[in-house]
A and B are shown apart, each in its own frame.
Chain A
Amino acid sequence: MDMKQPFDQVVAQRGATMLRVCRVVLGPHDADDAWSETFHSAMRAYPDLPETAKRGGVARDGRAPKAIDVLRVAKRNPLPVKETPGVEAARRAADGLRNLRKNYPGANTKGAPL
């Protein structure tokens, strides 16, 4: 017989922790949406989950990966940052080329021909 606890108890036991994790991973703006989608998906999958899932928590067993999905999408979107890493990289590349010309005057600085 299926001994799974009522789904509402899963929400009661894991809801607060899940929201904290969503806030850390995604920031406050997306946390509510991720929380909602996670528990919605978890509820859909719940009857088919193995009995052991209740111990590890339905939100952690990989069948409700909404927070991870949101994280992946967020990674592809530009993030506001204090300094653009590209500027620093370009500066270092330019320094590198200058040092190369200075130390090895005859070196090919354009790369190998295609």
Chain B
Amino acid sequence: MNDIRNDDDVPALLLTPVDADTLGRLHRRLEQGAEQAGLVDVAYNTIDSPLGRLLLAATPKGLVRVAYASESHDRVLQALSEKLSPRVLRAPKRLDDVAREIDDYFARRRRVFDLTLDLSLSRGFRQLVQTHLPEIGYGQTRSYRDVAELVGNPRAVRAVGTACATNPLPIVVPCHRVLRTDGTLGGYIGGPEAKTALLTLEAAA
């Protein structure tokens, strides 16, 4: 293998294409080694869903972010790098359970997510609201006012709206089940079509 190398070959060797399979294999090796060494502060993967491509990201504590394509996955990853840690690596294995549960949810095989969540991207009142949102059952809806009462602060209706709008874990933390008091849709991070689609999915069950 180590034949004497002519220096004239070097530019040619540097231009030799590297096939995607090799890089994929090396990446998996990096994932494995980095996981074993505890270096992956943020593991992520992207999956297909009926609502488009979803980004899933987890810290060692649990699922930390679910993002719609409309949020720009590159921007979301950059934000995770800045807020949590730049040791962000595509490591699908860590997201296997999450991907399976989301698949099951869209296939109507699952009504409750059984996942460990990391709500460290939110603080204070927003985090409190997001912690309580899973109490709204599958197929049900509540108003922003109801949720304000649920968290013991009935006058904080607007703050509940903000907490829902900044939910880092859409779909899994069901902010789509919160509507305006008059029954109209209200905003949604994935757009109104996505919110309607989720409510329709759950209503059909």
Quick check: is A23 within 8 A (CB to CB) of the other chain?
A: yes
B10 touches A15 (CB 8 A): no
Contacts of A21 in B (CB 8 A): 14
| CB nearest to B81 among chain A residues | A6
| CB nearest to B15 among chain A residues | A20
Selected from B23, B44, B77, the residue in CB contact (under 8 A) with A16 is B23
Query: A-facing mask of B8-45, CB < 8 A → 1, else 0?
Result: 00100111101000110011011001100101001010
Selected from B16, B34, B77, B85, the residue in CB contact (under 8 A) with A40 is B34
B37 touches A40 (CB 8 A): yes
Quick check: is B1 within 8 A (CB to CB) of the other chain?
A: yes
A79 to B5, CA, bound (A): 12
Grouping DSSP codes into helix (H, G, I), strand (E, B) and loop, the A interface class, with mixed when no group exceeds half, is helix
CB contacts under 8 Å to A, within B28-65, are 29-30, 33-34, 37, 39, 42, 44
B30 touches A46 (CB 8 A): no
A47 to B18, CA, bound (A): 28
Query: Known contacts being A7-B87, A19-B18, is A24 close to B13, with CB within 8 Å?
Result: yes
Quick check: is B107 within 8 A (CB to CB) of the other chain?
A: no
Quick check: is A57 within 8 A (CB to CB) of the other chain?
A: no
A8 touches B89 (CB 8 A): yes
B86 touches A6 (CB 8 A): yes
A80 to B1, CA, bound (A): 9
Selected from A2, A19, A24, A27, the residue in CB contact (under 8 A) with B22 is A19
Q: Using CB atoms and an 8 Å cutoff, list the residues of chain B in contact with chain A.
A: 1-5, 10, 13-16, 18, 22-23, 26-27, 29-30, 33-34, 37, 39, 42, 44, 77-78, 80-82, 85-90
Q: Using CB atoms and an 8 Å cutoff, list the residues of chain A in contact with chain B.
A: 1-9, 11, 15-16, 19-21, 23-24, 27-29, 32, 35-36, 39-40, 43-44, 46-47, 79-82
6 additional A-B residue pairs with CB within 8 Å, beyond A11-B30, A23-B16, A29-B1: A5-B86, A8-B44, A15-B26, A19-B22, A40-B37, A43-B89
Interchain Cβ contacts under 8 Å between A and B, 20 examples? A2-B81, A4-B86, A5-B81, A5-B86, A6-B77, A6-B78, A7-B81, A7-B87, A8-B89, A16-B18, A19-B18, A19-B26, A21-B14, A23-B16, A36-B26, A39-B30, A40-B30, A40-B33, A43-B39, A47-B85
